[in-house]
Structure 1
Amino acid sequence: MAERKPRPEDATIADNRRSRHDYEILDTVECGLELKGAEVKSLRARNVAFGDAYALVKGGELWLLGLKIDRFKNASTHEELAPDRTRRLLAKPAEIERLYKAVALKGHTLVPLKLYFKGPWAKVLIGVGRGKSHEDKRETVKRREADREMERALRRGR
């Protein structure tokens, strides 16, 4: 019998780089992801896209909307799931309450930052983000370029 390949502990499936560009991330929370059918196999095959995904608190529960998990190609057809269906996020009630209070402030939203496996469980890192204006984005780019210039100058000076 063939041996199983060891899986890395924290295997990143997808990283939402766009959210870090569009939002200033103020706080993060790790949540479990409630999946059905062959969605786990689809995640392991990295058939996922963040797009305009966001999370919200509704009825004391945390929900993830807009995350697209494509259908696994060898999946059974008796349970057809919509790729962009609303999925429940699993978090402790205290964390959900904290996120609810953070989102109640004007201009704050919950955005998924990263999707990964922690052991056998699919996890999503949710961040409380405040939307950046064009000026904020320009300021970030200027700061990054200034840091690069300093690094270059330090390397040349050695």
Structure 2
Amino acid sequence: MEKKFFIFNKKVYNNFFLKERIDAGLILKGWEVKSLRLNKVTIINSYVTIYNKKIYVYNLNISPLKTVCNHIKFNSKRIKELLLKKKEIEFLQNYINNKGFTIVVIGLFWKKSWCKINLAVVKGKKKYDKRNILKKKIWNIKKVRLLKKSI
């Protein structure tokens, strides 16, 4: 079954090489779920760390709704805990211990009534990597045009 992201981080593919992908659950509060249903969230620059064998996501900003209760204090930059099995956390920890790897958020999606987060183990691209990829794309476009003209 194909995941249908309601929030997607397009910059991940431009800035990183993807190694592994994994899905995780999120521990959220009620007002956060309501905001997620209305797409009031930004995941750009969000990343994951592991501390005391628990996994947390940072910079996942969920904006509170204006219609929600006023007596609750909202913290949109609250650090959210993720739900993963021990083996999955150890698997991610092994990648983090390797030089140059980090874990970033690709997107958020709904699985039945639960909000899930899609994570990726990535390695940063250098400027020359981005240039080489752009040159390959341009060459492939030119190649297709040349083949169309010759036929």
The reply to whether TM is greater than 0.5 is yes
Query: What are the within-5 Å matches in structure 2 for residues 105-116 of structure 1?
Result: 105-116=98-109
Measure the CA separation in 2 of the matches of 1:151 and 1:27. Answer: 31
C-alpha change, 1:155 and 1:125, in structure 2 (3 Å) is farther
RMSD (Å), alpha carbons: 1.6
Secondary structure in 2 matching 1:38: helix
Q: Would you say 1:12 and 2:11 are equivalent positions?
A: no
Measure the CA separation in 2 of the matches of 1:30 and 1:53. Answer: 15
Q: Could you say which residue in structure 2 is the equivalent of 1:85?
A: 78
Q: Could you say which residue in structure 2 is the equivalent of 1:121?
A: 114
Measure the CA separation in 2 of the matches of 1:70 and 1:144. Answer: 37
The 10-residue stretch of structure 1 (145-154 or 55-64) with the greater mean CA deviation from structure 2 = 145-154
TM-score with structure 1 length normalisation? 0.87
Secondary structure in 2 matching 1:84: coil
Q: Which of 82, 87, 90 does residue 97 from structure 1 map onto?
A: 90
Spell out, residue by residue over 1:114-158, the C-alpha distance to the aligned partner (whole angstroms, 9 max, x if none): 111111111111001101110111111112222222333444455
Q: Could you say which residue in structure 1 is the equivalent of 2:37?
A: 44
Measure the CA separation in 2 of the matches of 1:68 and 1:152. Answer: 43
Q: Could you say which residue in structure 1 is the equivalent of 2:57?
A: 64
Query: What are the within-5 Å matches in structure 2 for residues 24-39 of structure 1?
Result: 24-39=17-32
Shift of 1:75: 1.2
The 10-residue stretch of structure 1 (33-42 or 77-86) with the greater mean CA deviation from structure 2 = 77-86
Measure the CA separation in 2 of the matches of 1:121 and 1:145. Answer: 41
Kept in 2: contact 1:11–1:118 (CA 8 A): no
Q: Could you say which residue in structure 2 is the equivalent of 1:5?
A: none
Measure the CA separation in 2 of the matches of 1:62 and 1:151. Answer: 45
Amino acid at match of 2:44: G
Q: Could you say which residue in structure 1 is the equivalent of 2:14?
A: 21
- Fraction of identical pairs, as percent: 29
